[in-house]
A and B are shown apart, each in its own frame.
Chain A
Amino acid sequence: MTNAVLAATPVTAVRRPPVRAASLGFWVFSAYLLFGAWTLWKDFGAIAGAFPAVTAVNLLFLVVTSTVGMWLARRVLRPVQAPPLAASWLAVGWGALAATGLALILNSLNQSTLSEAAGLQFAGRWGAALTAPIDEETVKLLGVVLLAAVSSRLVRSAADGLVYGALVGLGFQVAENLVYGFNQVAATGGVGSAGSAFDVLVIRVLGTGYGSHWAMTAVAGAGIGYFVGAAGRPRSRRLLVALGGLALAMAMHFQFDSPFLDGTVWESLLKPAVNLVVVMVAFVLVRRRFLARWREVCAEETVSGALRAGEAQVLSQRHARRRSLRRIPSPARSAVKRLQTAQLDLLENRVPDMEPPGAAEQLRAAIAERRAAIRWA
């Protein structure tokens, strides 16, 4: 077994947190979160207080679905490594608070405009399908755009955009479940509302949840990630991909909310399944592109000396990194982990191929510094 000890050389390389409160983007993001929380409280605070059993059922579903959903999204949807936890919470928070608050306002205005313009019959049948895709997909995607402004380390590729989009959509989905749970109180006239809310939430989580908002926003988010990350491509092409992603997400939402197949068993089976297929295709394409570029960068950095033989393979997989760290005695484990972190930073920075040439040199120097802090025996 390899034995490693930490040398006395101090490690000077410092890694900044991915979410920095110093940025304007962070403060604007936070203001939206507060606004969304206030809107939700204004609309549902009184009902939540008056019907505590419904509130308890709602909160139970919210906690369970957001925890499980967030774990799955971070574990499955991002190749190589999960997005930072703080940024993941910001994304979920955007969906749950800011996007939901904005959507409540815009949906209400636009639904009533449609009723006025096209009549109540038409609005009743088509209102959700015509207003929600535009309102909700746009406000959800605004979260991914703002995340890119919070820190340049968050959205650097289509793979990042996809996972943050999924997290924003997940937040929106769990908050929308909450809204539907409270709306059940009104729908049932305050009679047996907790049981009724439970039934609705079970259908929304287990019946349609697998192909709902997370899938739509993941597709739109991948477009934003491509726009931000594919710096070497023409701007018009990047814009086309970003707008195409948003349009596809809106189309997914439209078919989900449309009255087609209404009242049939196919409605709850087919509509989310279509969205799941679309997001899986997007995921496979994004992942393949990401990993192809990742392997290129790994090969180049092996030549540059930032990575040693075999390290690329270890770095590229979560369980391989964990396994390699487990083999190292604990005094040196944290130093090796810091080395891996620096190497991952270099590779993640270079994958989008958009950093200035000098940046990679500094990152390689940091790796050399961290490697020197470990004396192998």
Chain B
Amino acid sequence: MRNDTSNTNVSPSRARHRRWVPPAAVAFTLAWVVLAVAVNRALPNREPVPPGDAVEVGGAVVTDLEGWTLDTAASDLAQQIVLDKGDQVLLISYHGFGREASGDDAWQGFEHLLSASTAREGGIALGDREPLQVEGAAQGEWSGLHVADRAGAAFVVTADDGLEAVEGTVLGPLQSSNTDIDAALAVVQSVELLSNMEVL
């Protein structure tokens, strides 16, 4: 006689539970995700930035945002904001390095990060770096950028002390005009790093 010391004598109610709990768990999870998606989609996720308003992202303030719309679903004021205007999407992110970094270090780190985050889209192609005049920062640079079927620019703006930076991209269709990119870079030029302002 095979004598199981453990599992053969489970009460009928517990055996029933073991049958219905797994499919119920799957149904519960699916229902929850579907509900979360539905509620998320039902709410407006775009908010025009009123003329004259500034948006603070991390330790930086972006001021010249007239005509841009803030993507509230994709933005997080602690780290990054996503804005769009027509078919241009502008991503501005704030980074604290935790140590002093040169403009080159900041650019290389950003390029590395951008390559990794776009790896599934085939990576990036960056043009030559050019200086970008930003009043509220020590150093600004930008270059042309291609990611899959989108084109635009990448930029890095570092603080005087080299401890923080504002970085980001503007991307639109391949046939985007220089005017579109210039409009986005004008926003970047309005960035003020709060640490620089405190020094002033």
Contacts and interface: CB of A to CB of B under 8 A. Distances in A.
B9 to A, nearest CB: 3
B75 A115 contact: yes
B61 interface: no
Contacts of B77: 120-121, 124
Interface size class of A (residues with CB under 8 A): 35 or more
Given A50-B113, A192-B98, 5 more contacts: A15-B4, A24-B18, A50-B112, A148-B18, A187-B95
Contact of A191 (B6, B105, B119): B105
Interface string A106-147: 100111110111011101100000000000001100100110
Nearest to A342: B5
Decide if the interface of chain A is mainly helix, strand, loop or mixed. helix
Contacts of A85: none
B78 interface: yes
Interface string A192-203: 110110010000
Contacts of B25: 28, 142, 145-146, 149
A190 B110 contact: yes
Interface in B95-137: 95-99, 101, 105-106, 108-113, 115-117, 119-120
Given A50-B115, A116-B72, A190-B110, A362 B43 contact: no
A26 B123 CA distance: 39
A341 B75 CA distance: 57
Contacts of A105: 33
Interface residues of B, number: 64
A355 B74 contact: no
B179 interface: no
A152 B14 contact: yes
Interface string B50-93: 00000000000000000000101111111100000000000001
Nearest to A109: B36
B176 interface: no
A13 B5 CA distance: 7
Contacts of B119: 46, 49-50
Interface in A213-231: 228, 231
Given A16-B7, A116-B73, A356-B9, A106 B33 contact: yes
A349 interface: yes
B9 A189 contact: no
By Cβ-Cβ distance, the 5 closest A-B pairs, closest first, are A359-B9, A190-B109, A189-B95, A50-B116, A28-B22
Contacts of B93: 186, 189
B50 to A, nearest CB: 13
Interface of A: 12-16, 18, 20, 23-25, 27-29, 46-47, 49-51, 102, 105-106, 109-113, 115-117, 119-121, 123-124, 138-139, 142, 145-146, 148-149, 151-153, 185-193, 195-196, 199, 228, 231, 341-342, 345-346, 349, 354-356, 358-359, 362-363, 365-366, 369
B7 A20 contact: yes
B197 interface: no
A12 B5 CA distance: 11
Interface in B1-33: 1-11, 13-15, 17-19, 21-23, 25-26, 28-29, 32-33
Contacts of A113: 36, 39-40, 43, 73
B109 A366 contact: no
B73 A112 contact: yes
Contacts of B76: 111, 115, 120, 123-124
B116 A188 contact: no
A187 B109 contact: no
A14 B95 contact: no
A362 B1 CA distance: 11
Contact of B117 (A47, A121, A148): A47
Contacts of A110: 36, 40
A362 B3 contact: yes
Contacts of A189: 93, 95, 97, 106, 109-110, 113, 165, 167
Contacts of A109: 33, 36-37, 40
A242 B5 CA distance: 29
Contacts of B117: 46-47
16 contacts: A28-B23, A28-B26, A46-B120, A109-B37, A115-B75, A116-B44, A120-B77, A146-B21, A149-B22, A190-B112, A191-B99, A192-B98, A349-B6, A356-B9, A362-B3, A362-B8
B36 A185 contact: no
Contacts of B177: none
